[in-house]
Amino acid sequence: MFFVPEIIEKKKRGLKLSKEEIEFIVNGYVAGKIPDYQVSALLMAIYFKGMDEEETTNLTMAMAYSGEIVDFSSIEGIKVDKHSTGGIADTTTLVLLPLAASVGVKVAKMSGRGLGHTGGTIDKLESIPGFRCELGDKEFIDAVNTIGAAITGQSKNLVPADKMLYALRDVTATVDSIPLIASSIMSKKIAGGADKIILDVKFGNGAFMKNYEDALKLGTLMVKIGQLAGRETVAYITDMDQPLGLAIGNTIEVIEAAETLKGRGHKDLLSLCLEFASEMMILAQVEKDKNKAVERLEASIDSGKALDKLKEIIASQGGNPEVLEDYSLLPKAKYELEVKAPADGFVKQIDAVRLGLASMKIGAGRQKKEDIIDPAVGIWIYKKVGEEVTKGEPFAKILANDKEKLTWAADEARAAFEFSREPKEKRKVIWAKITKNGVSEL
Ligand code: URA
Ligand code: CA
């Protein structure tokens, strides 16, 4: 027999919880038998006393099995999922999906919608006229088997324990606990049917983890959970101290993905996509040699195969693939405004959250519901940290459907960019890779 106050007491004193105690709490909470106030107290005890790898793995598994488990066994091959902890203008998935599929990796992507200042991949794809992201199970699996990739919204019954615990953490100031974040993310990946997992753990002003050390701790813990759960996991620690690539906004990120697949993308975004896609090839066992994997991916971009794969994915999900050749078929904002540098100098810093929020707010509210985002709006940035600007040179462009919001967002962009007279080093994108064998700094 378990008694909730005893379990809370145990964690309060920093003792280790057993697998059975953890399962009792998770199952009892999801079943409505344990009230919020007891779970809140336990979460706070976990926040202060932590959990070791074994406890965190047990929590992850109890959460993962609290609802439906996705079964991808009817998709041939090893299924590798890539997950990002969230960032600004993260166009990676839009590029990665077709790129990896174009060289023979099977990609069954379940994706969420945007949260707060980060747009979700689904929101971006829905800016393509006709594109459908709500696929039935059979339709989804058939598409992955025939085309090699498909993307769908997350099933409603996936990890109910996480939905409940996350909502409770949100109102009890217990979100930023590394074991709680790790179990939240990994439970969803495990329930989501992946055989192997690639994690993009971002750090910086635009990310959940504000510094490198915490990101490294989180990544290391998740790799360990993956190993204990029998799902090989590789984590990358990557920069989110400025937006990724140049586009921030749903439609323009589709354009940015198309440009990247045409070989004209920003090198930060491209390098990240090549690293993740080549790692996917290794994990899925479609290629043994990392350098060869990268060569094959580059060849796929050069030959147009990767772009064609995105067209196939779009067409198979009801969208018009011509948008990738003729961007005027995509939603277009009525107004544009370039924002110009006040003086000669260098970009010292970019407040990614401020830009991400501005990009969302230009589009919010136009279609009555505050949370519906106008897909056409956004912000292109022309300059990244360390790049030189001359007085009067545009460093960003605002796209809006409303003149007031246009000038407001231009002010936000001016405030988000900090310039200096002195040269400033460019930021590297990939900082470290964590595998079961340890950390390698890159
Ligand atoms: N992302 C998640 O899915 N869960 C967390 O707790 C934090 C980030
Ligand atoms: Ca981007």
Of the candidates 400, 316, 414, 417, the residue with the CA atom closest to the CA atom of residue 359: 400
**Distance, CA of 127 to CA of 13 (rounded, Å):** 51
Ligand 1 lined by 281 (C-beta under 6 Å): no
Where exactly does CATH 1.20.970.10 map onto the chain? 4-50
Distance of CA 84 from the midpoint of ligand 1 (Å): 10
Output the CA torsion sign for 387, 257, 398, 356.
negative
Is 139 exposed, middle or buried (CB count within 10 Å of its CB: 0-12, 13-18, 19+)?
middle
CB contact at 8 A, 148 and 386? no
Q: Is 344 a catalytic site residue?
A: no
**Distance, CA of 101 to CA of 142 (rounded, Å):** 14
CB contact at 8 A, 179 and 56? yes
- In this structure, which amino acid lies at residue 72? F
* pLDDT score at 196: 95
* pLDDT score at 365: 60
Q: Is 188 a catalytic site residue?
A: yes
**Distance, CA of 254 to CA of 247 (rounded, Å):** 9
* pLDDT score at 363: 83
* pLDDT score at 114: 64
Q: Is 169 a catalytic site residue?
A: yes
Q: Is 440 a catalytic site residue?
A: no
According to DSSP, the β-strands at 149-153 and 247-248 are unpaired
Is 80-155+191-324+431-435 a domain of CATH 3.40.50.800? Answer: no
Distance of CA 181 from the midpoint of ligand 1 (Å): 5
Residue ranges with CB less than 5 Å from ion ligand 2: 89, 91, 245, 247
Residue of 188, 266, 296, 424 marked catalytic = 188
Where exactly does CATH 3.90.1170.30 map onto the chain? 331-420
**Distance, CA of 8 to CA of 21 (rounded, Å):** 10
**Distance, CA of 175 to CA of 92 (rounded, Å):** 25
Ligand 1 lined by 350 (C-beta under 6 Å): no
Distance of CA 232 from the midpoint of ligand 2 (Å): 28
Full pLDDT tens readout for the chain, 442 residues: 899 999 999 999 999 999 999 999 999 999 999 999 999 999 999 999 999 999 999 999 999 999 999 989 999 899 999 999 988 888 999 999 999 999 999 999 988 766 555 668 888 999 999 999 889 889 999 999 999 999 998 777 899 999 999 999 999 999 999 999 999 999 999 999 999 999 999 999 888 899 999 999 999 999 999 999 999 999 999 999 999 999 999 999 999 999 999 999 999 999 999 999 999 999 999 999 999 999 999 999 999 999 999 999 999 999 999 999 999 999 999 999 999 999 999 999 999 999 999 998 888 765 544 456 788 999 999 999 999 999 999 999 999 999 999 999 999 999 999 999 999 999 999 999 999 999 999 8
Where exactly does CATH 3.40.1030.10 map onto the chain? 80-155+191-324+431-435
**Distance, CA of 240 to CA of 91 (rounded, Å):** 13
Is 331-420 a domain of CATH 3.90.1170.30? Answer: yes
CB contact at 8 A, 60 and 187? yes
Taking only Cα atoms into account, the Rg of the chain, rounded to an integer number of angstroms, comes to 22
Residue of 81, 123, 162, 351 marked catalytic = 162
DSSP-derived secondary structure for 363-388 = HBTTTSSTTPBPTT-EEEE---TT-E
**Distance, CA of 279 to CA of 100 (rounded, Å):** 10
Q: Is 83 a catalytic site residue?
A: yes
Which residue's CA lies nearest to atom 5 of ligand 1?
181
pLDDT per residue over 305-332, tens digit each? 999 999 999 999 999 999 999 999 999 9
Which of 117, 185, 221 to mutate to test ligand 1, by most ligand atoms within 8 A of the CB atom? 185
* pLDDT score at 368: 47
Task: Tell the residue number behind the tokens 């697949």, with chain if given.
Answer: 261
* pLDDT score at 87: 82
**Distance, CA of 90 to CA of 279 (rounded, Å):** 18
User: What SS3 class is residue 356?
Assistant: helix
Token reading at 47: 């926040």
**Distance, CA of 41 to CA of 18 (rounded, Å):** 18
pLDDT per residue over 27-76, tens digit each? 999 999 999 999 999 999 999 999 999 999 999 999 999 999 998 999 98
Classify domain 4-50 at the CATH topology level: 1.20.970
* pLDDT score at 115: 58
